[in-house]
Amino acid sequence: MIAKPSFLIAALAVSMLVSATGVSDAADAKAKAKAKAKRDPAFDAVTDDPKLPRVLLIGDSISIGYTVPVRNLLKDKANVHRIAENGGPTTNGLGKLQKWVAVGKWDVIHFNWGLHDLKFMGDGTRQVPIDAYEKNLRELVKQLKATGAKLVWCSTTPVPDAKMSPPRKNEDVIAYNVVAKKIMEENGIAIDDLYSYTLPKLVDVQRPANVHYTDPGYEFLAKQVADSIQAVLSKK
């Protein structure tokens, strides 16, 4: 067996490294491009018109779905922003709310938590039990009031009577909404009752066996959300 000169071995190693790096870089670039292409326009940056009030939407994937239609409905009436993620349960809100509200001064904050709190986990317990939900929501309201913004609580939307993953029960949606309503009334906060607004039309606007909505369904939700925001803005 003839030994290869050391410089040839080194050259081969460098060549293999460059090739591997090139493949890796290409894969990374492709993944980033794919992610960018899939980016939801709800998360697009908003360039404020300084003459218009600033509105912040806080909520889970349901709010992500109605963000763009709300922006369209409030065009030339308000600068509509949203948090740059799914708001998740109240525990996530407690950890991130200060960061979410820190970007400038808000005239109106339209907010919701609940759908993630009440979902059942693998061990059969709810992600955030209702007593903890109440405690968390009271603290979140306290922090939101400190911003000086006009606040609008959005009730959690209905859950269909179907097998889903993760599982949820509509009776829990009702119970968590009752807790939230009590807190909002105690604090003089306007309520956007999206639950009652949506329930009669649920089979027409919600996806089958899903908590999410069709595109026309999100347009339907957005009308109510935009109206609730305008009602508060008109009082400023």
Q: Output the domain CATH number for residue 171.
A: 3.40.50.1110
Strands 108-111 and 54-58: parallel
In this structure, are 49 and 109 located in the same domain?
yes
Are residues 121 and 12 part of one domain? Answer: no
Structural domain range at position 18:
1-38
Q: What is the mean pLDDT of residues 34-61?
A: 88
Domain count of the chain?
2
For residues 10 and 116, state if they share a domain: no
The conformation of residue 1, written as its DSSP 8-state character, comes to -
- Indicate if 108 and 129 belong to the same structural domain: yes
> Does one domain contain both 75 and 145?
yes
Same domain assignment for residues 58 and 24:
no
User: Sorting pLDDT into bands at 50, 70 and 90, what band is 1?
Assistant: very low
Query: What rounded mean pLDDT belongs to the chain?
Result: 89
Task: Give 168-220 pLDDT, tens digit per residue.
Answer: 999 999 999 999 999 999 999 999 999 999 999 999 999 999 999 999 999 99
Residues 24 and 48 in one domain: no
Q: Are residues 193 and 223 in the same domain?
A: yes
Do 220 and 142 fall into the same domain?
yes
Do 94 and 201 belong to one domain?
A: yes
pLDDT tens for 56-69 read 999 999 999 999 99
What's the pLDDT score for residue 84?
95
- Local structure of 192: helix, strand or coil: strand
Please indicate, yes or no, whether residues 7 and 124 belong to a single structural domain of this protein: no
Does the pLDDT of residue 162 top 50, yes or no? yes
Same structural domain, 226 and 134:
yes
List, for residues 108-133, the tens digit of each pLDDT value. 999 999 999 999 999 999 999 999 99
Cα-based angle 133, 83, 201 (whole degrees, multiple of 5): 70
In the chain, % of residues over pLDDT 70: 83
- Position 189 scores a pLDDT of 98
Residue with tokens 């779905």: 65
